[in-house]
Amino acid sequence: MTEQAEVNAGPPASTNRVQVIRDGVASYLADADPGETEEWLESFDAMLEAAGPERARYLMLRMLERADDKRVQLPSLTSTDFVNTIPTDLEPEFPGDEDMERRFRAMIRWNAAIMVHRAQRPGIGVGGHISTYASSASLYEVGFNHFFRGLDHPGGGDQIFVQGHASPGIYARAFLEGRIDENRMDGFRQEHSHAGLGGGLPSYPHPRLMPEFWQFPTVSMGLGPMNAIYQARINRFLHNNGITDTSDQHVWAFLGDGEMDEPESRGLLQVAANDHLDNLTFVVNCNLQRLDGPVRGNGKIIQELESFFRGAGWNVIKVVWGREWDALLHADKEGALVNLMNKTSDGDYQTYRANDGGFIREHFFARDPRCKELVKDYSDADIWRLKRGGHDYRKIYAAYKAALEHKGQPTVILAHTIKGYTLGGHFEGRNATHQMKKMTLDDLKAFRDTNRIPISDADLEADPYLPPYYHPGPDAPEIKYLLERRRELGGFLPRRHLTPKPLEADTAAALKAVAGGSGKQQVATTMALVRIFKELMRDKAIGKRIVPIIPDEARTFGMDSWFPTLKIYNPNGQHYRSVDAELMLAYKEAEGGRILHEGINEAGSTAAFTAVGTSYATHNEPMIPLYIFYSMFGFQRTGDGLWAAADQMTHGFVIGATAGRTTLTGEGLQHADGHSPLLAATNPGVVSYDPAFAYELAHIVFDGLRRMYGPDPEKIYYYITVYNEPIHQPAQPENLDLAGLLKGIYLYRPAPEPLEHSAGILASGITMGDALEAQDMLARDWGVSADVYSVTSWTELARDGIACDVEELRGGTPRTPFVTEVLSQRSGPFVAASDYQRGVQEQIRAYVPGTYYTLGADGFGFSDTRPAARRVFNIDAASIAVGVLTALARDGAIDRTVAQDAAVKYQINDVSAAPKSTADPGLA
């Protein structure tokens, strides 16, 4: 037998032992002392035979713990027993007055539920959720009383991502704090109708709707976990770049176990692990229920999440059982109770809490005679009082303290709770509890009794729709204690900085770089953008605050020239020699790098954009994110994240590069973007532009800096489309209509001379070149003098028109929309074209005087040359010229056969007649 055959054959049959750790590394390690190894294995066998598997398991776990303590690298255990991670004897002393905190926690529970209940009164009925906060009240209160640091803390304060459906509890705490009065509590989910705008409360955490209060929007489930990871990453980035000291700040994200099924919830865990973000803690409220039923009825979500997070490199702390279980677990000498806990499914755990103590005795403990014996002296009431860990202050405090003390890894705390806890038998653990929004009179009385709220039956019976809130008064010991805890921790939370520092940039050099045109050189607007920001990054006021964010396409966008100078941010530095180290544009990573290069990861890049663009609110340090991506993979792929960015009032620039349906030659259907401006138009917080020329782009950027970072900043961010097709960039006209450019339209090139017929051509972006060529064709071949307008923003023109309509509808003085005013000064008809589908141009139809004819790239994109694609979509110069003639025919100015003859002459139906492509493919 050959040496390799012996290896494949495995160990000698006499040992009857497999000498490989199947999921580990032992098979790859040399055995330096086989004799000693055999002695260890024989010793283990003897112990197993003498003491049994439970003892063997215990000793092996202790050996693994010791190996970990001594920094011996071993494959990690992906899951542990269904018990608390922190043993009882290692729990720290709870530092607070637990009885005092229980009393005002009960008040918060009451007021949260009553606020939602009162919002269902006749004539209102606006919904709400009671059970999520009921399950997580203790998780929040331990944090608010002992861990969460406010903005006035010397370290700058923590950032708290509140689970969206738990918002009633946060409002109820603010009510006790005196930040929200009873009248505003009654305005829950009535933001306009109750006491006027600002007199009510938004349904969920929405900073845009309550800017002095909420920090982060979280209720689009999955975005909270992702954005929390990037908030922690950007905190480190700001610190490592010397912007602000965030070393004493922590990010807490409160999440639901059902929410963890969202791809965004788990898909970026490795980012936190790779960056060693020990400034981040996830607290997953494992109440075992989704909106409709169990998260894992047949399985165990806590065990699943433990395996997942451990595998991703996180520190995992399980808080499964409350202190009442400690004595039982201590008495469980044979491990029977732990084994039963391990085997019981989540569906059964949910059912237990929907019944009573007798049911739990019969259906849980009685499944193993040894476990039944453990509780033989327990009454059914005693068994019912066996709490889950997520409702136990001591267990939660121990977990939070351990999380903050753990270094080198992010931490996740998996807290076992009950949905609808303390709300009574109609709510606790019921599948329908998420949708239950009001309580019967009996429910109210039982809930009052459980929480020991001093409200009489008569007060509840007076109007069951409007049971009273409870506040013991500002001088009550509970309120004094609550307020004192927040004072010591740095003030109230949640809260935002509301007065950002203004920035003023010197833009002269950046304008000079592009205003003169490109001469004989052809330059794409993408490359022009790079030149503009290269100059802005030299500005003393804003240079260090500009943060390029790139999802692995820097070379495509011509931004690789920034690698050696700005460097790519990596908190671990660079510990390898780059393959292109000898080149001028070498790939360089650094702890103080300025570029956020997020890999093939648009979702994470959007989260980074949001965190950087809201640093004015979280850190009182305005930053200017420059997020550039393939335009198809922006609003289409991450529209939800970009919507949340607007909710969070993010500032910055979102750049749709390689824009348009026909400019990204050869790439095809999935890359050819013909609709992103329409998607952007649906977001009210986005100002969208599609500039044709470099100087337009410069002025748009400068105006964006003024509007977002000036003394009176607007709650907006910019979306600008730029192209990879190189063109001869014109110089800025001497008589440039800058106001029109910024409002969305200006007359770029009037018709050279008056001819028999006149018309107007409206174009944006890369289509401007075809519009100008069509102007020449119409004059030369058809006697039509056509004015050419540069439309920098179809969306801003449409919004202006809509605003005029609304003002008139509401009885205001009629106002002429800007686009109407501009076009009324010249003769129509008007033909509009862009590299996008017609819907983009159709936004302004109602405000164009006279005949309006649109051309666009409707339908899926495909792989071909630019001229061929434009001929297929009929947005090239010839098609625009025929479009103008068609519009004139519609007006009766010419015979329809003229347009038909032009279509035949220019062969606009024949793709083979399209001009040959001679352009550079345009990598930038």
Number of structural domains (the chain) is 4
Domain shared by 774 and 822, yes or no: yes
What is the distance, to the nearest Å, from the Cα of residue 56 to the centroid of all Cα atoms in its chain? 46
Host domain of residue 641: 507-559+595-728
User: CA-CA distance, 515 to 261, in Å (whole number)?
Assistant: 51
Residue 100 predicted with pLDDT over 90? yes
Q: Give the CATH number of the domain where residue 512 resides.
A: 3.40.50.970
Residue 601 predicted with pLDDT over 50? yes
| DSSP-derived 3-state class of residue 284 | strand
| DSSP-derived 3-state class of residue 242 | coil
Residue 858 known to bind ligand? no
Mean per-residue pLDDT for 455-465?
A: 95
Q: Angle at CA 486, nearest 5°, toward 481 and 487?
A: 95
Q: Angle at CA 426, nearest 5°, toward 422 and 431?
A: 100
pLDDT at 2: 40
Q: How many CB atoms lie within 10 A of CB 466?
A: 13
Domain shared by 528 and 619, yes or no: yes
Of 164, 253, 172, 163, whose CA–CA distance to 204 is shortest? 164
pLDDT at 131: 83
Q: Name the strands in the sheet holding 852-855, side by side, starting at the edge strand that comes first in the sequence.
A: 745-749, 784-791, 757-763, 830-833, 852-855
Domain shared by 713 and 665, yes or no: yes
User: Letter for the amino acid at 107?
Assistant: M
Residue 13 predicted with pLDDT over 70? no
pLDDT at 226: 97
Domain shared by 829 and 888, yes or no: yes
**Tokens found for residue 511:** 């304008």
Residue 788 included in any domain: yes
Residue 922 predicted with pLDDT over 70? no
Q: Give the CATH number of the domain where residue 799 resides.
A: 3.40.50.920
Confidence tier at 28 by pLDDT (50, 70, 90): very low
Mean per-residue pLDDT for 841-859?
A: 97
User: CA-CA distance, 213 to 888, in Å (whole number)?
Assistant: 57
pLDDT at 3: 39
Confidence tier at 552 by pLDDT (50, 70, 90): confident
Mean pLDDT of the chain: 92
pLDDT at 433: 62
Domain shared by 724 and 615, yes or no: yes
Compute the residue count for the chain: 924
Domain shared by 755 and 886, yes or no: yes
Residue 570 predicted with pLDDT over 90? yes
Structure-token match 């997520």, residue found: 390
Mean per-residue pLDDT for 709-729?
A: 96
Of 749, 700, 770, whose CA–CA distance to 528 is shortest? 700
Segment among 285-299, 504-518, 612-626, 858-872 with least mean pLDDT? 285-299
User: CA-CA distance, 211 to 188, in Å (whole number)?
Assistant: 16
Cis peptide before 87 (omega within 30 of 0): no
Domain shared by 306 and 352, yes or no: no
Residue 544 predicted with pLDDT over 50? yes
Confidence tier at 919 by pLDDT (50, 70, 90): low
Show Cβ contacts of residue 298 under 8 Å, excluding neighbours closer than 6 positions.
345, 346, 347
User: CA-CA distance, 191 to 266, in Å (whole number)?
Assistant: 33
Residue 22 predicted with pLDDT over 70? no
Residue 521 known to bind ligand? no
pLDDT tens-place string over residues 770-790 = 999 999 999 999 999 999 999
Domain shared by 218 and 196, yes or no: yes
User: CA-CA distance, 75 to 615, in Å (whole number)?
Assistant: 39
pLDDT at 423: 82
Domain shared by 280 and 411, yes or no: yes
User: CA-CA distance, 53 to 48, in Å (whole number)?
Assistant: 6
Segment among 78-87, 472-481, 805-814 with least mean pLDDT? 78-87
Residue 90 included in any domain: no
Residue 218 included in any domain: yes
Residue 257 known to bind ligand? yes
Residue 197 included in any domain: yes
- Please name every residue paired with 415 in a beta bridge, in sequence order, or none if there are none: 285, 319
Residue 583 included in any domain: no
Last residue of a domain, one of 346, 369, 386: 386
Domain shared by 664 and 722, yes or no: yes
- Is the four-CA dihedral 184, 185, 188, 190 of positive or negative sign? negative
Cis peptide before 494 (omega within 30 of 0): yes
Residue 902 included in any domain: yes
For the whole model, what pTM was predicted?
Answer: 0.92
Residue 33 included in any domain: no
437 or 493: which leads in pLDDT: 493
251 or 579: which leads in pLDDT: 251
Last residue of a domain, one of 386, 418, 434: 386
User: CA-CA distance, 289 to 295, in Å (whole number)?
Assistant: 5
User: Letter for the amino acid at 625?
Assistant: P
Residue 584 included in any domain: no
User: CA-CA distance, 157 to 489, in Å (whole number)?
Assistant: 9
Q: Is 372 exposed, middle or buried (0-12, 13-18, 19+ CB in 10 A)?
A: middle
Domain shared by 547 and 665, yes or no: yes
Domain shared by 294 and 442, yes or no: yes
pLDDT at 30: 64
Confidence tier at 128 by pLDDT (50, 70, 90): confident
- Please name every residue paired with 284 in a beta bridge, in sequence order, or none if there are none: 255, 414
Show Cβ contacts of residue 30 under 8 Å, excluding neighbours closer than 6 positions.
none
pLDDT at 291: 79
Last residue of a domain, one of 386, 405, 434: 386
Confidence tier at 14 by pLDDT (50, 70, 90): very low
Phi–psi pair at 832, nearest 5 degrees: -115, 140
